[in-house]
C-alpha cells in the first residue's frame, strides 16, 4: 500500500481528480489532505470522501518537527502539491527527499517563482502574446517551482484566447495528466 498526502490551498479540483483516480486502486490510499487555509474548498471535498484533513495555519507549523513526524507516523510515501501556495520548508524536504511533487500551470522555467500562481500566471502569459503554454509536473526543492521536471505538456494559445480561456485549457491538461504522472512516480518508489 502506498499512501499519499495532498497539500492544497484552494478549490482542490486537482485534488478531487487524484482522489477519484485512486479510489479504484486498492494499492494506493489518499490518506490525508493538508491545507493552510481553514476555508479552502478542498477541505469540503476531502470531507465528502471521508479523508482526514489537517490545517497547517503557518509556515512555522509546516516546517515543524512535529508536523514532519506526524506525516511519518502516518506512513506517507508521497506528498502531492495541488495548488499549495506556501513554500515547502527544508526540514520537510529532508524528511521526504524526492517524495514531494508539484504541478505548475505554465512551462517552467518561464512564469515560475513566488507570486506566480493561478490566474497571475495565465494573465502574464497572455500579456506576453506567447503562442503556447502548458503544465509542468516537477519534484519540489527549497525554491519555488525549481525542482527536476517529471513531465511537461503544452497547449496552443489562439489569437483570441484570454486568461480565462487559457486557464480552462490548462485545467483540462492538469486533470488529465497529474493523476497519471503520480501513478508513474509511485511505481518508481
Which residues are near ligand GAR by CB under 6 A? 8, 10-15, 82-83, 103-105, 117-118, 121, 174
| Vertex 83: Cα angle to 117 and 123 (nearest 5) | 25
The strand pairing partners of 29, in sequence order, are 3
CA-nearest of 90, 111, 105, 83 to 154 is 105
Cα separation, 40 vs 49, whole angstroms:
15
Residue number, 61 or 87, with CB nearest to ligand GAR: 87
Task: Report in angstroms how near the CB of residue 154 gets to ligand GAR at its nearest.
Answer: 15
Residue number, 101 or 186, with CB nearest to ligand GAR: 101
Task: Report in angstroms how near the CB of residue 81 gets to ligand GAR at its nearest.
Answer: 7
- For 48, 116, 123, 126, 178, the CA distances from 157, given in Å and listed in that order, are 35, 19, 12, 8, 21
Residue number, 76 or 170, with CB nearest to ligand GAR: 170
Residue number, 2 or 104, with CB nearest to ligand GAR: 104
Residue number, 70 or 152, with CB nearest to ligand GAR: 152
Q: Strand (E) positions, the chain?
A: 2-7, 28-35, 52-55, 78-81, 100-104, 132-139, 149-156
Question: Helix crossing, 163-187 with 13-23: angle to 10°?
Answer: 40
Task: Report in angstroms how near the CB of residue 17 gets to ligand GAR at its nearest.
Answer: 8
Catalytic residues: 104
Q: Is 28 strand, coil or helix?
A: strand
Task: Report in angstroms how near the CB of residue 152 gets to ligand GAR at its nearest.
Answer: 13
Residue length, the chain? 189
Cell triple for 142: 527549497
Cell triple for 38: 481553514
Task: Report in angstroms how near the CB of residue 11 gets to ligand GAR at its nearest.
Answer: 4
Amino acid at each position: 500500500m502506498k499512501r499519499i498526502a495532498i497539500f492544497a490551498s484552494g478549490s482542490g479540483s486537482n485534488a478531487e481528480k487524484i482522489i477519484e483516480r485512486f479510489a479504484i486502486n486498492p494499492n494506493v490510499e489518499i490518506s490525508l489532505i493538508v491545507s493552510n487555509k481553514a476555508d479552502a474548498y478542498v477541505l469540503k471535498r476531502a470531507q465528502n470522501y471521508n479523508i482526514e484533513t489537517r490545517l497547517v495555519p503557518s509556515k512555522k507549523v509546516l516546517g515543524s518537527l512535529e508536523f514532519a513526524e506526524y506525516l511519518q507516523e502516518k506512513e506517507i510515501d508521497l506528498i502531492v502539491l495541488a495548488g499549495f501556495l506556501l513554500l515547502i520548508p527544508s526540514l520537510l524536504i529532508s524528511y521526504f527527499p524526492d517524495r514531494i511533487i508539484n504541478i505548475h500551470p505554465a512551462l517552467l522555467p518561464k512564469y515560475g517563482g513566488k507570486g506566480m500562481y493561478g490566474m497571475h500566471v495565465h494573465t502574464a502569459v497572455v500579456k506576453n502574446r506567447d503562442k503556447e503554454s502548458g503544465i509542468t509536473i516537477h519534484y519540489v526543492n527549497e525554491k519555488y517551482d525549481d525542482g527536476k521536471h517529471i513531465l511537461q505538456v503544452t497547449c496552443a494559445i489562439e489569437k483570441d484566447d484570454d486568461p480565462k480561456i487559457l486557464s480552462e485549457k490548462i485545467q483540462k491538461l492538469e486533470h488529465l495528466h497529474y493523476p497519471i504522472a503520480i501513478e508513474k512516480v509511485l511505481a518508481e518508489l
